[in-house]
Structure 1
């Protein structure tokens, strides 16, 4: 393979046609916008036409201009930022570099950082600043014409470089430097004053040379420092928490568009150890608003152990101005000071524009709930729903929530875990915690898809929701921001069944049954519509003998199948997991099923069929018309195929009796009574015919 790679590289270095890049771009259909941009400026066009200039061009494809219209208005200096004054041949070698990032000069006296990421062994992706090199789509890593190289990029390359180091960027007081640029440093006065007090950090780290080592700098603005009560807490270690390790240059474009084929994350969520500090990790994250599609970029400092000025948890800082290349790395301006925690949970919630509805509900209850979030309330972990979580609640449910203060208080307390700083590194699939009411519990799921993309879910009051922004540190605990309100249903049981991946087989069976209209009523919050549904999971149906299962689903025994499902439904009562007691319940098909406790679990016991099904802990799901509990077995046996048919025949006999009475026909009346008695006896005898079927379990 290495020999083939060398031959491919040699072929790559041979000019395919004796023409310049300006002529070549005319033949390439997805570079027409970049050609038009270069045609406006004589210098850019001259470099494209000069086959003897030893330069490399990073040309955005047309999709970049389509999805980012501002790029069409780049001036000449910003256009020349796409031209490097040397030949970049490393992208076509297909091997791991000694340094992860290459530093190359541009034609406008700036720098381009060409970064290599190893997706898996032997498979690399490359970035020029924030632009992803996407020549691999055409299996051609570079186009060569004379001494020129051209690479396609499928995302914007970033802002025009600043001609100096990060320290000179902070200290620069000349306004003319920032004329015609999309950024400035007018909001960095407080950071400038603090750096003046620590000259070693200022000169060695912020003012270092790119050839000695380059970094990613997160610079808090004046608004960020105004949030800190005690300025003395911003010391040498806090300043180092805003700089990544040596030779780590991270640009912040969150998703790459690649010709409509692939989407790539540019930010690699590796553990970027800050200098030699192994207790603090600095990563970059993006959060997308699902209603608008807009995303916010964040720098996140995570602390797993308390030490010095740092508290356990994470500090999230929104990136206001991203991707400003400087001579020793890249600069991002942020709105919060990383690593420093000075606010309580109450203050963080009030300052968060996405928690306006939550604060309105908390103020409705008053100090009963709000005391938990104050400085004197002790350590708590709070799962805070964003406004979009309240927007998902149906209108009739929200009206009841506003009227019923007791229920509202219970819902808010369900989100509070007392006397604990629960961070994501402690969450597993077996994690169970108590809430402040000491009755209901929260369950967790740690999902990972794709690899290394971990999402945490919390389940409470029958509602499962994803943790969108985790481990936000406060002086009195931890906040996890979630996308739904725990304990408040927003779907009917039928909609829940439709969307639950573990209940696909039950959903497919119920699709053809009349029972689905009972599970999806037009009127909710009425006692007669409430129900408790014990649903077998997909693995439970695998325990049913295949012959019985096939006959139930052959289309001829749909009444029998519906009769079986009614055995799993309690009508008129909506029972949460905490409401379950050891007692006998009359199910929807008028049969008796016993709920009993076995250790920490509850189970269903059906005496007639001698079947047992365990209720899965954490498998409770709330609906607007009741509760759903997942079980690991099906309450079914062979005689179920005949019992509904007998009931139908008995009903036909009663109809004959009614007809006989209507027409005063004694002979028809006598025959009908005998028919009803025989069929009733048959129904009573049906359960006794399962002696040979006791092996079904």
Structure 2
């Protein structure tokens, strides 16, 4: 750090963006001016851009929440530091480890580490300046109205008890306060230390029967002990144990953010990973309606509805909030009319799983063009619905020894799952109708099933055959694509014994149209084969359907079509269990055994493709 005499004040004039809002407040406040002249201090100075985004109260006392009477460098910042505002409320410090360095936050404001500065005033007192990207917003009491004394620097329970006396906008907290007192859980919010508290607002207690579902364990599920978590300072999806984490019930909490247009909305998720008869497993998602309220023993977030309480259907969840994480999906459903088939099934079904595209997923131009066709839209919606409960652990279990496929509400169409575990970070992808989507939020629980939020709309392909085989998890580990030909890495090992290019050409149908498996079945049934042109020799196929699966007959053997109708922008891929390989295709060298080579190739070819391609 640099050093200048006469306090840190001259440094403001060297930083052009400080010459207005914050400096003006600083100069008008007598306490702040006295501190600058005679005392050591730490000053957290918001930028002008921070003030442009700030919509809270603006008076001279706001400066005091940005000042501490100790000179503290970044290295010496502890988990909290007292401010000079009435009651000396703490400023909470978070060190968030990034890949390259540690970021430092004061409450919800990020410190610009490169611009920290220290100096000595004329009385030899050290002073430190830290630049932050947000205005630090204190919890302020409303004007004194009933003769009582204002509450300064409350803890979480004092805030809850006197919430009507604080400036928290239109929100009221009486329903949750009543439950806390009724269940004798006052000590949970009174506890000393560093904690994070989630308090549902009164509007979240509709229907009124919801209040009956809140017991002592649910109240505990609204508290994260020993962590002060401000939204910007906390990584998305990072999980923290709640106070409701015991032998029988285990609840973890995390934050997620979602874009609704240009607005960023932050949600809190309570995930009951182990439940009991009273507490259902799964995720409850609640919008944070007012975030980052600092209190004496941590931070409070006001949320739109109680956590842990599963009392709504999937349709209720979709329409619960006009700007919710799936509001656009609900709009698309309603565009089909209130009595459409898809909506009726969502309402009436008892055991379903919905893979719901996020708000951002509907902004794709290709998606916008397709959803105007109501018949096509009905098919697309059905592709997102599975008629059974599929929580994440069931998908993982079913996917352990094979690629798991789940039938959808669209006849003969399946969803295919892939679980990627990299450095203990698990990612679930789902493929349907040629589209591979990532599951961004799992296990949202409803009374009639589960919702998983995905980042793309299924059934509207956006990649070519070339791109699909490079990126699809089921294909990319087996297929490496070149413009001249398709090469299978494991086949290269046998390149001297196998006419690789000729075999691959046999799997590529070149015609003036694309063929779904149902199209092929009409043309090539069990008794009448159909000849399809390829780059090598004509492909004679018969097609049959058995137990909701398709099979193609080639050269006297029936081959299972494991994954039919993977649609692409320039063709269709069908994944089959065996390749179209003849014994004469194998040119054994030396003492190699032809049959053994053929067996090895077929074994490694567990899921190959036969594809129709317009062009590369």
TM-score by length of 2: 0.73
Give 1:72 deviation, angstroms. 10
With over 3 angstroms needed to count, the CA separation of the structure-2 counterparts of 1:87 and 1:629, relative to structure 1, is farther
Give 1:280 deviation, angstroms. 3.2
Unaligned runs of 5+ in 1: 1-11, 255-264, 514-534, 553-560, 608-613, 637-686
Give 1:288 deviation, angstroms. 2.9
With over 3 angstroms needed to count, the CA separation of the structure-2 counterparts of 1:282 and 1:303, relative to structure 1, is same
Question: Please, which of 291, 294, 302 is the counterpart of residue 322 of structure 1?
Answer: 291
Mapped contact 1:309–1:340 kept (Cα < 8 A): no
The C-alpha deviation readout for 1:436-458, integer Å capped at 9, x for no partner, is: 55743322234568x66654321
Give 1:76 deviation, angstroms. 1.9
Does residue 227 of structure 2 align to residue 248 of structure 1? yes
Give, in whole Å, the separation in 2 of the partners of 1:688 and 1:321: 69
The C-alpha deviation readout for 1:462-520, integer Å capped at 9, x for no partner, is: 2212223321111111111334332333556577579769779999844xx8xxxxxxx
Matched residue SS, 2:172: coil
Aligned to 2:161: 171
Mapped contact 2:66–2:136 kept (Cα < 8 A): no
Aligned to 1:60: 46
Aligned to 2:67: 83
In the alignment of these two chains, the number of paired residues is 553
Does residue 258 of structure 2 align to residue 288 of structure 1? yes
- The structure with the greater share of residues assigned to helix is 1
Aligned to 1:654: none
Question: Please, which of 316, 331, 341 is the counterpart of residue 357 of structure 1?
Answer: 331
Does residue 84 of structure 2 align to residue 111 of structure 1? no
Matched residue SS, 2:193: coil
Does residue 544 of structure 2 align to residue 569 of structure 1? no
Does residue 193 of structure 2 align to residue 213 of structure 1? yes
Give 1:274 deviation, angstroms. 1.8
Aligned pairs for 1:570-609 within 5 A: 570-571=510-511, 572-575=513-516, 586-589=532-535, 591-593=537-539
Aligned to 2:275: 306
Give 1:46 deviation, angstroms. 1.2
Give, in whole Å, the separation in 1 of the partners of 2:89 and 2:278: 36
Give, in whole Å, the separation in 2 of the partners of 1:251 and 1:338: 18
Mapped contact 1:424–1:471 kept (Cα < 8 A): no
Mapped contact 1:567–1:635 kept (Cα < 8 A): yes
With over 3 angstroms needed to count, the CA separation of the structure-2 counterparts of 1:491 and 1:170, relative to structure 1, is same
Does residue 140 of structure 2 align to residue 150 of structure 1? no
Give, in whole Å, the separation in 2 of the partners of 1:268 and 1:492: 32
Give, in whole Å, the separation in 1 of the partners of 2:567 and 2:205: 44
Unaligned runs of 5+ in 2: 141-151, 602-616
Give, in whole Å, the separation in 1 of the partners of 2:67 and 2:125: 13
Aligned to 2:246: 277
Does residue 75 of structure 2 align to residue 92 of structure 1? yes
Give 1:218 deviation, angstroms. 1.1
Q: Quick check: 319-328 or 340-349, which moved more?
A: 340-349
Mapped contact 1:459–1:618 kept (Cα < 8 A): no
Give, in whole Å, the separation in 2 of the partners of 1:48 and 1:565: 81
Q: Quick check: 390-399 or 342-351, which moved more?
A: 390-399
Matched residue SS, 1:115: strand
Give, in whole Å, the separation in 2 of the partners of 1:495 and 1:119: 36
Does residue 221 of structure 2 align to residue 237 of structure 1? no
Give, in whole Å, the separation in 2 of the partners of 1:395 and 1:688: 47
Give, in whole Å, the separation in 1 of the partners of 2:72 and 2:517: 64
Aligned to 1:655: none
Aligned to 2:572: 627
CA RMSD of aligned residues (A): 4.9
Matched residue SS, 2:389: coil
Give 1:219 deviation, angstroms. 1.2
Mapped contact 1:463–1:486 kept (Cα < 8 A): yes
Structure with max Cα Rg: 1
The C-alpha deviation readout for 1:93-130, integer Å capped at 9, x for no partner, is: 59xx7xxx335233343423433446389964432111
Matched residue SS, 1:317: strand
Aligned to 1:529: none
Mapped contact 1:271–1:282 kept (Cα < 8 A): yes
Give, in whole Å, the separation in 2 of the partners of 1:122 and 1:476: 45
The C-alpha deviation readout for 1:403-434, integer Å capped at 9, x for no partner, is: x4xx6555443322233242368537656142
Give 1:188 deviation, angstroms. 1.6
Give 1:232 deviation, angstroms. 1.6
Aligned pairs for 1:523-562 within 5 A: 536=486, 539=489
Matched residue SS, 2:290: strand
Aligned to 1:226: 206
Matched residue SS, 2:232: coil
Does residue 386 of structure 2 align to residue 441 of structure 1? no
Mapped contact 1:22–1:45 kept (Cα < 8 A): no
Give, in whole Å, the separation in 2 of the partners of 1:350 and 1:269: 27
Give 1:620 deviation, angstroms. 6.5
Q: Quick check: 577-586 or 296-305, which moved more?
A: 577-586
Give 1:78 deviation, angstroms. 2.1
Mapped contact 1:341–1:475 kept (Cα < 8 A): yes
With over 3 angstroms needed to count, the CA separation of the structure-2 counterparts of 1:299 and 1:227, relative to structure 1, is farther
Give, in whole Å, the separation in 2 of the partners of 1:36 and 1:576: 71
The C-alpha deviation readout for 1:536-565, integer Å capped at 9, x for no partner, is: 47746865869x99xx9xxxxxxxx99976
Mapped contact 2:360–2:455 kept (Cα < 8 A): yes
Aligned to 2:351: 379
Matched residue SS, 2:284: strand
Question: Please, which of 43, 47, 53 is the counterpart of residue 69 of structure 1?
Answer: 53
Matched residue SS, 2:54: helix
Matched residue SS, 1:466: strand
The C-alpha deviation readout for 1:611-647, integer Å capped at 9, x for no partner, is: xxx99966974235532357999999xxxxxxxxxxx
Aligned to 1:676: none
Aligned to 1:468: 440
Aligned to 2:30: 43
Give, in whole Å, the separation in 2 of the partners of 1:84 and 1:322: 23
Aligned pairs for 1:357-506 within 5 A: 357-360=331-334, 363=337, 366=340, 369-370=342-343, 372-374=345-347, 377-386=349-358, 389-392=361-364, 393=366, 397-399=370-372, 401-402=373-374, 404=375, 410-423=379-392, 426-427=395-396, 430=400, 432-436=404-408, 439-447=412-420, 454-490=426-462, 493=465
Aligned to 1:670: none
